[in-house]
Amino acid sequence: MTFQEQQAAERAQDHIDSARLQDAIAALAAFGGRGDGGVSREALTGVDLAARRHLIERARALGCEVSTDDCANLFFRRAGSADLPPVLTGSHADTQPVGGKLDGAYGVLAGLEVIAALNDAGIRTPRPIEVVAWTNEEGSRFGPGAMGSSAFVDPACLPAYRDAVDGAGVRFGDALDAALAAAPDVPRRPMRQPMSACVELHIEQGPVLERAAVPLGVVTGIQSVRWYRVTCAGMMGHAGTTPMGERSDAMATAVAVAQQLYAFAATGSGAPAGTELRLTLGRWQVTPNSVNTIPGAVEFTIDARCVDEAVLERFEAALGEIAARQGGKVGGKVGFTCFFRRPPTLFPPAMLALVSQACERASAQAWLPAPLRLTSGAFHDAMYLAGHCPTAMIFVPSERGISHNAAEATAPHDLFLGAQALAYTVAALAHR
């Protein structure tokens, strides 16, 4: 690292303002804020559009130029002294149906805090810096997840994404057009723009850092993920009159499939020591969903994750066997489709070295333990950016490892240290 690079990185880090960051987190959390302290702000809902407007105004107040693209990703640009590909940071502003204040929001707001810190320190960087708020990272309303970042990297994904529908039958494409129409003052730019590097700051969403009592994590990569939709067919019938032996009950079939999948995850996945297959059957739809009608159709989703891709291969084979076996039983047809798959992501060593340096300085100044290296259990937009430019991630602890829950929380001092590490990393990269 050159002397100039290091000096800018240290000064940027030392200008992060914890109170300003906390205020920004509280202000964004008001959009979709819940009585239990959580946030409900699913992608492209009315509250999400209001939150996006809030971010646009906030970024403009910091002197940023705002632009968007065909997937309504929002880019907040701080100009550089040279016309070079920017350094990218940020995350997403959408949440789970019941989410917290920090998942995604923290990365976007810490990115804007880095820009405020650079402004305060009077640092002019050779490269521009862009803070991004990616569209629909969560994937809960419209599947799959990380739509904005994947479409940015590979715009050919977008036409199929536009046909995704939410539970109420709204098309993603229509919601996207409405979001773009709601921001006529924001110029459109092409997708797939060159970036010199990308760094995403995020809460860990798991227990590793807190258990180790370490405030900062250098993320080495992201585990594999696959999402499936399973459909079980039966025949509707009267709950009181149809003899048990003469039913084709889609729920009975679905429960049997689910039990066999859980059993596979518990015993048969063969995950390497210290790792596991993580299985979630998170969304269920029952037709006709009536107390006194035998279910005629059940659809449920599977989220399967592991650091070892081979385990997910075995899981998919087992799913196929279970579906065929169960579907072979009287009238109990079972089908499944995979609608999201991503192999493991590994971040490059040079980026890990820079992030380590940034985290080491922030924790040492606070007299706290040195950063830990860990793999992300959650997926992030950074997994797509990793295929586009040198990419890295920084984690801060999550209290009790809780996330995708209204109770999601991180100590303000840890959030401050994370933003400091981000400032150092971004300022150094913007001088390269």
- Cβ at position 395, least distance to ligand GLV in Å: 13
Question: Do 260 and 326 touch, CB atoms closer than 8 A?
Answer: yes
Coil, strand or helix at 394: strand
Binding status of residue 145 toward ligand GLV by CB under 6 A: yes
Q: Looking at beta carbons only, is 69 or 200 nearer to Mn ion?
A: 200
Q: Looking at beta carbons only, is 94 or 210 nearer to ligand GLV?
A: 94
Binding status of residue 106 toward ligand GLV by CB under 6 A: no
Q: Looking at beta carbons only, is 104 or 296 nearer to Mn ion?
A: 104
Alpha-carbon distance of 186 to 181, in angstroms, equals 10
CA neighbor of 113 nearest in space, from 16, 25, 201: 16
Question: Do 65 and 115 touch, CB atoms closer than 8 A?
Answer: no
Q: Which residue has the tokens 């940034």?
A: 358
Binding status of residue 134 toward ligand GLV by CB under 6 A: no
Q: Looking at beta carbons only, is 121 or 201 nearer to Mn ion?
A: 201
Q: Looking at beta carbons only, is 108 or 428 nearer to ligand GLV?
A: 108
Binding site for Mn ion (CB under 5 A): 103-104
Report strand pairing: 87-92 vs 129-134: parallel
Question: Do 117 and 423 touch, CB atoms closer than 8 A?
Answer: yes
Alpha-carbon distance of 348 to 149, in angstroms, equals 19
Beta bridge partners of 165: 171
DSSP assignment of 200-251 equals EEEE--SSHHHHHT-S-EEEEEE-EEEEEEEEEE---EETTTS-GGG---HH
Rounded to the nearest 5 degrees, what angle is found at the Cα of 138, between the Cα atoms of 133 and 143?
120
Q: Which does 384 bind (CB under 5 to 8 A by kind): ligand GLV, Mn ion, none?
A: none
- Cβ at position 144, least distance to Mn ion in Å: 13
Residue nearest to ligand GLV (CB): 378
Alpha-carbon distance of 43 to 49, in angstroms, equals 8
Q: Looking at beta carbons only, is 74 or 222 nearer to ligand GLV?
A: 222
Alpha-carbon distance of 166 to 172, in angstroms, equals 7
- Cβ at position 411, least distance to ligand GLV in Å: 22
Q: Which does 69 bind (CB under 5 to 8 A by kind): ligand GLV, Mn ion, none?
A: none
Out of 113, 138, 408, 414, name the contact with ligand GLV by CB under 6 A: 138
Q: Which residue has the tokens 């003899």?
A: 243
- Cβ at position 45, least distance to Mn ion in Å: 16
- Cβ at position 207, least distance to Mn ion in Å: 16
Out of 340, 379, 395, 424, name the contact with ligand GLV by CB under 6 A: 379
What binding mask, one character per residue, do residues 339-378 give for ligand GLV by CB under 6 A, x or -? ---------------------------------------x
User: Which residues have CB under 8 Å from 366's CB, separation 6+?
Assistant: 215, 413, 417
- Cβ at position 429, least distance to ligand GLV in Å: 25
- Cβ at position 378, least distance to ligand GLV in Å: 3
- 77 phi and psi angles, rounded to 5 deg: -110, 125
Alpha-carbon distance of 13 to 192, in angstroms, equals 29
Q: Which does 86 bind (CB under 5 to 8 A by kind): ligand GLV, Mn ion, none?
A: none
- Cβ at position 226, least distance to ligand GLV in Å: 12
Q: Looking at beta carbons only, is 161 or 336 nearer to Mn ion?
A: 161
Q: Looking at beta carbons only, is 106 or 379 nearer to ligand GLV?
A: 379
* Footprint on this chain of ligand GLV (rule: CB under 6 A): 138, 145, 378-379
